[in-house]
Copies of this chain bind each other. A is one copy, B any other.
Amino acid sequence: MGLGETELIERYFRRPADAQCARRGDVPLGIGDDAALLAVPQGRQLVAAIDALVEGVHFPPGVPARSIGHRALAVNLSDLAAMGAEPAWFLLSLTMPAADEAFLTEFAAGMHALADQHGVALVGGDTTGGPLVATVQALGTVAPGAALTRAGGRPGELVYVTGTPGDAAAGLQLLLDTASGASLDEQGRQYLVNRFLYPAPRVALGRLLPGIASACIDVSDGLAADAGRLAAASGCGLQIDAGCVPASAALRKQRGDAGARRLALTGGEDYELCFTVPPGKAAVLAAQLDIVKCTATCIGSLVAGSGIDLREDGQPLELDLRGFDHFAGA
């Protein structure tokens, strides 16, 4: 006999009262009724994001269920981080072909571990039969007027990216084609694969950026494409010096310096933050990065005008910068 929806939710998604995220005092009513009741702190604005992960689109069949649970939450926490918000709660809609208990155990473990790390609470959801799709809706709060958007950048501001983009795209390729890892040792291979399977949303840094950054976007479709979106929303042009684009040691070992930089500019699924900072605030940024143990690298600047001016060693660099679009080829 199968597992009913009510029992499924009780067994896998209701947390024990001592779980980190179950101790929040701002959930008058969580999982189990028609809707959740949430106490938004007075004087805070609500920030809401929704993102779905679809098997065969956002991850290949056969990736660990733990990764799917982790990523479904991570991509939404990344959206909140890009707004400078403090994440608080999330809801999950999970459709899957069958109520597979091994899958659910691992999926829930991946999701709960990330939720506990950031102190966010699963407060409601919906599970049904269907193709494998995990949709998370994340809610957070921010001080009124403090939220970062894509549109706040101004000419002359410096453009930064956190971490080492490109790793996730290389990791996904390794999962799909193990031969592509020939030049890597096992440690390097695992590092890149884990960067795809378990991206770390930049929650702590995102919360510190209001007051320092002027505009922010999370990098999900490729650094150059997403930085270009930020510049366009800000009514600016974008200059990128490819030589400044950071790349991990593993990515450089696999592809060489130039190849690593290209993937760092075009690969997707990074969930790093790309943001702009007035030059006068670069020192404050450096101090805050140190506090949250996060790296961020200046890759260029916003300029008057429009479009992307991408250079390597002073020469124009031609790359396909359209970014990943789920319908562009449809």
The answer to whether B83 touches A330, judged by C-beta atoms less than 8 angstroms apart, is no
Interface size class of A (residues with CB under 8 A): 35 or more
Nearest CB in chain B: distance from A118 CB, A: 15
The yes or no answer to A193 lying at the interface (CB within 8 A) is: no
Nearest CB in chain B: distance from A96 CB, A: 9
The answer to whether B8 touches A126, judged by C-beta atoms less than 8 angstroms apart, is no
- Stretch in A34-42, A261-269, A283-291 with 4+ CB within 8 Å of B: A34-42
CA distance A90 to B303 in the complex (A): 36
- The A10-53 residues at the B interface (CB cut-off 8 A) are 28-29, 33-40, 42, 45-52
Which residues of chain B are within 8 angstroms of A150 by Cβ–Cβ distance? 33-34
The answer to whether B123 touches A2, judged by C-beta atoms less than 8 angstroms apart, is no
* Identical copies in the complex: 2
The yes or no answer to A142 lying at the interface (CB within 8 A) is: yes
The yes or no answer to A328 lying at the interface (CB within 8 A) is: yes
- Stretch in A61-69, A133-141, A161-169, A236-244 with 4+ CB within 8 Å of B: A133-141
Which residues of chain B are within 8 angstroms of A139 by Cβ–Cβ distance? 46, 48
Which residues of chain B are within 8 angstroms of A280 by Cβ–Cβ distance? none
CA distance A4 to B147 in the complex (A): 27
Which residues of chain B are within 8 angstroms of A330 by Cβ–Cβ distance? 2-3, 98-99, 129
- Pick the residue among B51, B98, B99, B142 that contacts A93 (CB under 8 A): B51
The yes or no answer to A89 lying at the interface (CB within 8 A) is: yes
- Pick the residue among B38, B54, B138 that contacts A129 (CB under 8 A): B54
The answer to whether B58 touches A89, judged by C-beta atoms less than 8 angstroms apart, is no
CA distance A48 to B136 in the complex (A): 13
Q: With contacts A33-B83, A329-B2 known, is A135 near B52, CB below 8 A?
A: yes
Which residues of chain B are within 8 angstroms of A56 by Cβ–Cβ distance? 130
Q: With contacts A137-B91, A328-B4 known, is A49 near B34, CB below 8 A?
A: yes
CA distance A151 to B28 in the complex (A): 13
The yes or no answer to A279 lying at the interface (CB within 8 A) is: no
The yes or no answer to A85 lying at the interface (CB within 8 A) is: yes
Which residues of chain B are within 8 angstroms of A326 by Cβ–Cβ distance? 5, 127-129
